[in-house]
Amino acid sequence: MKHNISPHEVSQIKQRIITRFIKNVKGKKSNTKGSNIRHDGKDGHWLEKQMGVKHNASNKPDIDGFEMKNNTTSKTTFGDWSADYYIFSKDSSYGITRSEFLKLFGKPNLQKKGRLSWSGEPCPKIGPYNSFGQKLTIDSGGNTSALYSFKADKRTNKHKLIPKKMQRGVIVLAKWNAQSMKRKLEEKFNQLGWFKCVKNKEGVYTQIVFGDPYNFKKWIKAVQRGVVFFDSGMYETNKRPYSQWRASNAYWDSLITSKY
């Protein structure tokens, strides 16, 4: 824990958060009237406002050392953490663009007029290669890589699609260095801990739950088990990588240490 404060001070901070939740959130539904209806984060923005959190892109905890998470249906995000290397990066020897990457290793979304994305079926996971010849691996140092194997690729058009120089051996599509991921994870979750505002089936906030500080050692073990997973949302027409790292709500529930 990086904060050099006493357990009593931590308890006081926690109580202030609980009081704010009870006063401004508990018993209410999120009021998103006037928000951009297409914006997926409008519910979260309402909660941030109620809890006194200024919306920002910082990788710091939301409130005095505690990271805040909102109610979700099935899975909750640790962070949107881009890889340190992509095969389309400037330092890559393959010389392909991001658009070419999506064409080679992504999939067209028929519901979006064939828009290419590196999400869903092509997205690599821990375990065997998927039908697009991709998987995630973690080395002994905790570095995580997205790999591609032409041999494991089950697509019928792969010989025409994949360039000859990419048809041999195993290729690294993306890599997350352990040190940078450790910094990002622990800056948010390994300070004083985290909390989540929970709704009932009617969408009314009823409860606030807390979890202890969470370090990279625990996190990378969960990634190795496939409990924490890479959930890419990269697509053409948007430059953001959308490299989300998530876990099921059941896993988050297992980390809860107190409820109010």
0.75 exceeded by the pTM? yes
- Backbone Cα Rg of the chain: 20
Residue 196 buriedness (CB in 10 A; 0-12 / 13-18 / 19+): buried
Six-digit token pair at 168? Answer: 């041999």
Closest among 235, 52, 230 to 127, alpha carbons compared: 230
Q: In the predicted model, is pLDDT for residue 101 greater than 70? A: yes
Q: 56-81 burial by CB neighbour count: b if 16+ within 10 A, else e?
A: eeeeebbbbbbbbbbbbeeebebbbb
**What CA–CA distance (Å, rounded) separates 236 from 107?**
11
Q: In the predicted model, is pLDDT for residue 184 greater than 50? A: yes
| Mean pLDDT of the region 13-32 | 93
pLDDT band with cut points at 50, 70 and 90 for residue 40: low
Closest among 41, 22, 63 to 194, alpha carbons compared: 63
How does the average pLDDT of the chain come out, rounded? 92
